[in-house]
Amino acid sequence: MKIILLSAILSLACTTKVSEWVLVNAPAGRYTLIYFYKDQINETDRNRNSSVSREINHANIDFRSVEKKDIVQPYYALYYGNRLFARYDDSKNLTGLTVSPLRQKIASEIMAGKLCVLIYLTTGNKEKDDKGMQTIRNTLNDSPFKNIIIVSELSRNSADESHFVSLLLNVEDDLKTISEPMLFGVFGRFRALEPLLGKGITEENIKLMIDFFTADCSCVIKDDLPGMDILFTDNWDNPSTAMVNRILDENPDLLHH
């Protein structure tokens, strides 16, 4: 009886790691793309919006049209919750909104069982960028999890990834004004943690980020998951087994909460 009772109580304690729990259990937050128009939508715009809707159909985004009397010309606005992320005056600017080469690569790494992807957003200032990258490399070289963490460098000025850069810089509302290198930890269904930036990119802080991903998933994290979901495809079914579990099984001394 005591053994049964003890087993029941122990089963309440979650030993799934944060990175794995979020990928399997936490649906990505949804964006809203709104087409604001005045009076009525003409046939051309209606067809164009149908095309936009089809293009973003498989992502964590909803699309709708809203009539607004006080506007000069129609436009699109991207929201996350009630925060305005971007405004687009032309539907051509929406190309690649929900998908891009780097985002596809990151998602495939996460689905393959990697712990996380660290995105290093560079500024174009070589001295600053190199210093941060060196710190990241040094930290990962000493980490037992180095083989399951992917580092991806992304320029703020990347034309192919302009939407992705914009989304990352919206993770916090003052990031656009800070011209420092930033390190985002991406995990789960493309959730990006609030970044380490500038002098905050230290070995100690990067280790704490790795600790965050490899810790047991507590109710505190489940109830108030930090970070923000990035716009991407909504298909996160059947991920591979998390590689972190094998490393922790083989090295129990690395286990922590």
Partner 1 sequence: MDQDSVTYDSLEVRPLPKWLTDQRDGLNTIQPVKMEMKEDRSLSVSFVLTGAIILVAVTILTVYLLRKKKKNQ
Q: Which residues bind partner 1 (CB under 8 A)?
A: 2, 6, 9-10, 12-14, 81, 171-174, 177-178, 180, 193-200, 205, 208-209, 211-212, 215-216, 218-221, 224, 226-228, 257
For residue 145, the 8-state DSSP code is T
Residue 58 phi/psi, 5° resolution?
-95, 10
* Shortest CB 4 distance to partner 1, Å: 12
How many whole angstroms separate alpha carbon 181 and alpha carbon 197? 6
Nearer of residues 209 and 248 to partner 1, judged by Cβ: 209
Nearer of residues 76 and 187 to partner 1, judged by Cβ: 187
Nearer of residues 48 and 131 to partner 1, judged by Cβ: 131
* Shortest CB 15 distance to partner 1, Å: 9
* Shortest CB 84 distance to partner 1, Å: 14
- Kindly give, in sequence order, each residue whose CB lies less than 8 Å from that of residue 136, ignoring residues fewer than 6 positions away: 118, 120, 151, 183, 201, 206
DSSP 159-211: STTHHHHHHHTTSSTTGGG--S-EEEEEETTTEEPPPEEGGG--HHHHHHHHH
Beta carbons of 175 and 214 less than 8 angstroms apart: no
How many whole angstroms separate alpha carbon 22 and alpha carbon 149? 16
Closest CA to 228 of 174, 178, 189, 176: 189
Nearer of residues 151 and 178 to partner 1, judged by Cβ: 178
* Shortest CB 128 distance to partner 1, Å: 12
Nearer of residues 75 and 212 to partner 1, judged by Cβ: 212
* Shortest CB 219 distance to partner 1, Å: 7
Nearer of residues 101 and 226 to partner 1, judged by Cβ: 226
Nearer of residues 31 and 37 to partner 1, judged by Cβ: 31
DSSP SS3 for 242: coil
* Shortest CB 50 distance to partner 1, Å: 32
How many whole angstroms separate alpha carbon 17 and alpha carbon 47? 46
* Shortest CB 172 distance to partner 1, Å: 5
Beta carbons of 17 and 213 less than 8 angstroms apart: yes
